[in-house]
Amino acid sequence: MSSTITICDTCRAPGTLPDLDGPRDGAKLADLVEAAAEKAGVPTRRVSCLMGCEHGCNVAVQAPGKLTYVMGTFTPDAEAADAIVDYARLHGESDSGVVPYRTWPQGVKGHFRARIPALDTGSDTP
């Protein structure tokens, strides 16, 4: 099962001032992630605000029945986009969403902000 990358398109990179005439850093990162993900066959979606403004350039990697990982403080560049997509591909290959540290792409190390437990997919949950 593939994992989806959710990208905040309203983020600003930490320490940057708003560019009133251009796209936000999150939108720049989203463009790059979407391009890399399309080549890799990884689904993406954009949202306006993952509420990680303190960290900027936030993404979530998620799939039904698996742990969700939220990452931030990315620079909106091709290297970050490729690392995010590579991590999402590994997440998709995992049964639980856990990706062994030794296989993490270098570009995601130090960017993890939260790990969210999978929702119970049993039929007896409300």
- Whether the per-residue pLDDT at 18 is higher than 60: the answer is yes
Tokens of 49: 């605000």
Range of the domain at 41: 4-116
Q: For residue 88, tell me if it sits in a domain.
A: yes
Q: Is residue 57 part of a domain?
A: yes
> pLDDT over 70 for what percent of the chain?
90
Q: Is 24 a member of any domain?
A: yes
d(CA 1, CA 64): 9
3-state helix, strand, coil in the chain (%, to 5): 30, 15, 50
Residue 68 sits at φ, ψ, to 5 deg, of -105, 140
Q: Does a structural domain hold residue 89?
A: yes
Mean pLDDT of the region 44-61? 93
Does 125 reside within a domain? no
- Assigned domain for 122 exists: no
pLDDT-derived band at 126, boundaries 50, 70, 90:
very low
- pTM here is 0.90
Is pLDDT of 105 > 70?
yes
Query: What is the predicted pLDDT for the residue at 78?
Result: 98
Residue 39 lies in a domain: yes
CB 12 within 8 A of CB 24: yes
Residues 2/72/47/17 CA torsion (nearest 10 deg): -150
CATH for 112: 3.40.30
- Region 59-74: mean pLDDT is 97
In a domain, 123, yes or no: no
Tokens of 70: 């939220």
Structure tokens given for 118: 């999978």
Number of domains in the chain: 1
